A = this chain, B = another copy of it.
Amino acid sequence: MAPEILVVDDDRELRETMVEILSEAGFTVTAAASGEEALATLARQPFALVLIDMIMPGLSGQEVLPLLKRQAPRAKVIMITAFATVENAVEAMRRGADDYLTKPFKVDELLTAVRRTLEEARLRECGFSIDMDSTFSCLGNALRREILKLVAREQRIRFMDIARHLGIEDHTKMNFHLKLLRDAGLVGQDERKNYLLTPEGQRVIDCLGQLQQG
């Protein structure tokens, strides 16, 4: 499925030009003439990317941005303005915009910005997908959480060292939990049987840290 883009601009001519350029480049494009219309459209359908003119009657781009980010946190946003200043640009980015385009722009500038931003979004979706069910049921156990945290901290660690660090005398007990962590795809082993985090495990740890205080 082609990436869905929403173009929001009150200037009909510019709006239609942008739609045309992006459509020809192979994107699926929808247009909205105001911030209000954009939010309504976003409520009905998800978009990968939203292009917003900063200056519009009614809701301005600046005002739409936080509303949009709340409603569709995963949508990427490129702000467009004729009055570009460092302050405005920084402010827009601080508020959650992903890029910033100055009018007038060339066709190439638009396409480059759009492609780059979509590419970033695609990267973030990562190659692997995490199976929430196995991950959560696995981490429902406190000892397994401890093991995961320890492996994350030590980077690579051997079986018996995990047991010693956590004060577990029965290694077969450790093995039981370690196996579940392996099955859930959270930890793996290198060629020397050292235990280490998989990318999935790394991501879970990141998320955990963020959950705790971030």
Q: Using a CB–CB distance below 8 Å, which chain A residues touch chain B?
A: 73-74, 84-86, 89-90, 93-94, 98-100, 102, 124-126, 129-130, 132-133, 135-137, 139-142, 145, 203-204, 206-214
Structural contact, A210 and B213, CB atoms closer than 8 A = no
A81 (CB) vs chain B CBs: closest residue: B86
Structural contact, B142 and A133, CB atoms closer than 8 A = yes
Structural contact, B99 and A211, CB atoms closer than 8 A = no
Q: 17 more A-B contacts (CB under 8 A) besides A125-B213, A129-B212, A207-B207?
A: A73-B206, A74-B214, A86-B100, A93-B94, A94-B98, A94-B99, A124-B213, A130-B211, A132-B208, A132-B211, A132-B212, A136-B136, A137-B141, A139-B140, A140-B141, A203-B211, A207-B211
Residues of B within 8 A of A86 (CB): 84-86, 89, 100, 102
- Count the copies: 2
7 contacts between A and B (CB under 8 A): A89-B93, A94-B99, A125-B214, A126-B213, A129-B213, A132-B145, A203-B211
Docked CA distance A213–B84 (Å) = 33
Query: From residue A7, how far is it (CB to closest CB) to chain B in Å?
Result: 20
Structural contact, B90 and A130, CB atoms closer than 8 A = no
Residues of B within 8 A of A208 (CB): 132
Docked CA distance A34–B85 (Å) = 29
Structural contact, A145 and B140, CB atoms closer than 8 A = no
A126 (CB) vs chain B CBs: closest residue: B213
Query: From residue A16, how far is it (CB to closest CB) to chain B in Å?
Result: 26
Residues of B within 8 A of A133 (CB): 142, 145
Query: From residue A84, how far is it (CB to closest CB) to chain B in Å?
Result: 5
